[in-house]
Amino acid sequence: MTWRPVFWLVAVGVVILDQASKQWVLASLEPLERHPVLGDLLSIQLVFNSGAAFSLGNGYTWLLTVVAAAVTVGIVHYARRAQSTLAAVIFGVGLGGAVGNLIDRLFRAPSFGQGHVVDFINYGDQFVGNIADIAIVGAAAALIVAGIFSKRLLAPAAGAPADAGDEPGTAADAESRG
């Protein structure tokens, strides 16, 4: 595949939306002050998360930063093999989410590489997230659904043998043509 501009445009769009929403929350809200949106089900509440999902890994922020950087590189690597615009969009959404939270880890207080992620969407006091988290979970869910329905999103790696059912002239090819 050649690089699809949609991959980069979607990723940049998610990063802009994520960072703009975080700047708005930082400028508008006091930490821990809760603002109901849908009763107790959904509220806006500024919190700073040094850990991962559900605040797991507090105290290991630097390690989470390294993992986030590795995930970002991995997404870019695999996205090069996207077989369709849909696949490029899914990988772009995932990359945007990963980069959105990585920016926080790298450049927010308390220090470089140990920054706390700005979270503000409180889901019924179960967990608090942000736009980047929604993008990451959405991209992961789309990959799972594609897998369940056997939708191939990636071209085989260079040098990897193609599945027998993917070769032209096979029974699988004949079925796909109708």
Summarize pLDDT for 48-79 with one digit per residue, the tens.
988 666 555 566 677 878 888 999 999 999 89
Sign of the Cα torsion 134, 99, 5, 158 reads: negative
Per DSSP, helices labelled H in the chain are 5-28, 61-79, 85-107, 131-148, 171-177
**CA 75/CA 77 separation, integer angstroms:** 5
Single-letter residue type at 84: S
Look up the pTM and report it: 0.82
Cite the active site residues.
Answer: 119, 133
Summarize pLDDT for 102-129 with one digit per residue, the tens.
999 999 998 888 889 999 999 999 999 9
